[in-house]
Amino acid sequence: MQNTLSDESQKSLNALMVRWFIIAASLVVYLFIGYMLVVTQTYTSPYTVEILQTTLFSGMSIHAALYLFAAIIFIGGDVHAKSSYKKLLLAASEQKFKTKDDEFNFYRTRYASIMFVHIAIFNVIAILGVIVFLVTLDFATLMNLSIVSLLGFVLMFPHKAKFEFQTEKSCPLKKK
């Protein structure tokens, strides 16, 4: 028999999903504003795109360093998110809950905290793209870094399976 979320818990999860979508939509707003600035030519950047080809060290250009920095943030954020999630599962497995809703609420509040922290970490990548765009009007870099940021957001999506897993007796971390 599979346990499902109560109506109240489902509404709470839906509210968390809506918040996630609103935050993810900010990436689309970044792209839309950047595209409009390029198309309307209402903004003049202080530098041209060629500045990104300047060598920083060991033959690495600023452009390559930006993508390397974004990759480090992405990988670090993903590793930290997985570690935080495992700690949450362990903490939940050590608790004794009276009802499934109590367990869900314990899990939801802590997962929301983990989710928002890591979305902020992944959003740093998109903000880096915005900064590069504002300095050089390089829309391709803005778009690429926004996509990488969105991939990080997707890793943190609060889908139903993550929450129902906690209420199942089959949870591998649950003490029998």
Give the model's pLDDT for residue 97: 81
The DSSP element (H or E) to which 160 belongs, if any, is helix 160-167
pLDDT surpassing 90 at residue 92: no
pLDDT surpassing 50 at residue 169: no
CB 129 within 8 A of CB 146: yes
Least confident span in 70-84, 144-158, 162-176: 162-176
Question: What is the distance between the alpha carbons of residues 154 and 20, in angstroms, rounded to a whole number?
Answer: 9
pLDDT confidence bin for 40, thresholds 50/70/90: very high
Least confident span in 13-17, 115-119, 148-152, 168-172: 168-172
CB 97 within 8 A of CB 107: no
Question: What is the distance between the alpha carbons of residues 26 and 33, in angstroms, rounded to a whole number?
Answer: 10
Tally of CA atoms within 13 A in the half-sphere of 68 that contains its CB: 7
- CA 53 and chain centroid, separation: 29
Question: What is the distance between the alpha carbons of residues 129 and 149, in angstroms, rounded to a whole number?
Answer: 10
pLDDT surpassing 80 at residue 112: yes
pLDDT surpassing 60 at residue 25: yes
Percentage helix, strand, coil, to 5, in the chain? Answer: 75, 5, 20
Strand partners, 60: 57
